[in-house]
Amino acid sequence: MLTIVNGVTSKQVFANEIINLLETMGLDGYFYLGYPVLGGIDGKIKVDALLVSEQTGIVLFDLETLAEENMEDKIQLLDELYNNMEAKLKRYGYLSKRRVLQVPINVLSYAPLYKTKSDEICTSIEEVKEYLESLEWKQGEEYYKKLLEAIQMISQLKKRGGRKNLQKASSRGSKLKAIEDQISCLDKYQSKAVIETVEGVQRIRGLAGSGKTIVLALKVAYLYTMYENKMIAVTFNSRALKGQFIQLITNFIVENTNEEPDWSRIKIIHAWGSKNSEGLYFNFCKANNLVCYDYMDACQKYGRNSSAFDRVCEEAVESVTNPQPLYDVILVDEAQDFSKYFRFLYKGIIINHNKNRANLH
């Protein structure tokens, strides 16, 4: 069975033609739109579409929507896609045997408006079908799941996690390591949660220990690489999660782009904050010239109880008619722990929140 994962694309019409074809071919695997972003010496390349299948190996799709036929530039693009993907996969030793990569990498441009075709440039959907039918991956049964780990960056999570000297089995670090060890590759629901983004609220549900924090970190990395001008905030209730998010997001972005994250575009902040540390609530209050209550202030005004944070959030949102927008996307871990007033608060500081509210739980 083929799982379709719809990422960010401006070429949906041509993508749908490829999807309709693939769904008739009986392939097993994943077809990603707008994924991945391949880092290289000359910068990042955003892949239009990617097929990962046990029958074909990897197929990188370039979806050409223009009629201009600059064949030299097109061949150069296909070469760059191939070379960057090869360099990425060769970093995973388990995908090679005696220094030879065991995964076939295929590149294909679907250019219906072109009049000239070649072995790697198809001008009709029938030619795409013939190309795909000619592919064979003899080692697919042995290497397919390992390939998925690499494409989804899960194996890199295990390698770079570095969770050593964990003495308490009940600690957060030990529990997260257990989750990491259990994940061999993302299932179709996790893959969709990472890459697919909807307008408005997107809820990512899962039982305790199902890897939601890892999925959120992967989603931050994906949004970061796809939207270079977006401000992203990640917030949470437990302060212990901050270090984990920093480590996971750093690993995933470096793996995807070969570059360190620009932390001016990603804010990993506690939901509350304090006078000495950034928080979503504190940032809301400062941006809107409101009184900021830290924990002790809130307890003095509303009592030392579990609803103190809810009350200060309620006071803040009811004090502002048009909040100052701060972020394009807000991802909330442990969202079930927060009240409706905190939800009102973070929705209010999303840029263009009345037109395109993007907040993820």
- Per-residue model confidence (pLDDT) at position 334: 82
Residue 163 lies in a domain: no
Q: Is the bond preceding 261 in cis, omega lying within 30 degrees of 0?
A: no
Domain that holds residue 73: 2-151
Q: What's the CATH code of the domain at 189?
A: 3.40.50
Mean pLDDT of 147-173: 68
350, 325 contact by CB (below 8 A)? yes
Residue 221 lies in a domain: yes
- Asked whether the predicted pLDDT for residue 310 surpasses 90, the reply is yes
φ, ψ dihedrals at 48, nearest 5°: -65, -45
Q: Which residues contact 48 (CB under 8 A, 6 or more apart)?
A: 9, 11, 15, 33, 34, 61, 62, 63
Burial of residue 338 (CB within 10 Å: 0-12, 13-18, 19+) is buried
Q: How many domains does the chain have?
A: 2
Q: What's the CATH code of the domain at 143?
A: 3.40.1350
- Per-residue model confidence (pLDDT) at position 306: 80
CA 22 to chain centre: 24
Mean pLDDT of 32-42: 89
Residue 157 lies in a domain: no
- Per-residue model confidence (pLDDT) at position 352: 74
Residues in the chain: 361
294 in the same domain as 224: yes
- Please tell me whether residue 218 adopts helix, strand or coil conformation: helix
192 in the same domain as 139: no
211, 179 contact by CB (below 8 A)? yes
* Model pTM score: 0.83
CA distance 122 to 118: 7
CA distance 266 to 215: 16
The residue type at 67: A
- Asked whether the predicted pLDDT for residue 179 surpasses 90, the reply is no
pLDDT band at 51 (very low <50, low <70, confident <90, very high): very high
- Per-residue model confidence (pLDDT) at position 247: 92
Tell which phi-psi region holds residue 99, choosing left (phi > 0), alpha (psi between -120 and 50) or beta: left
100 in the same domain as 190: no
pLDDT band at 139 (very low <50, low <70, confident <90, very high): very high
- Per-residue model confidence (pLDDT) at position 235: 95
pLDDT tens for residues 201-227? 787 776 565 678 889 999 999 999 999
177 in the same domain as 41: no
Residue 160 lies in a domain: no
The residue type at 88: K
- Asked whether the predicted pLDDT for residue 360 surpasses 90, the reply is no
Query: CA quadruple 311, 316, 321, 327: dihedral positive or negative?
Result: negative
Residue 145 lies in a domain: yes
CA distance 48 to 32: 8
289 in the same domain as 187: yes
Taking CA atoms, 274 is separated from 25, 204, 288, in Å, by 57, 28, 16
232 in the same domain as 340: yes
The residue type at 229: N
Residue 162 lies in a domain: no
Residue 161 lies in a domain: no
Q: What percent of the chain has pLDDT over 90?
A: 65
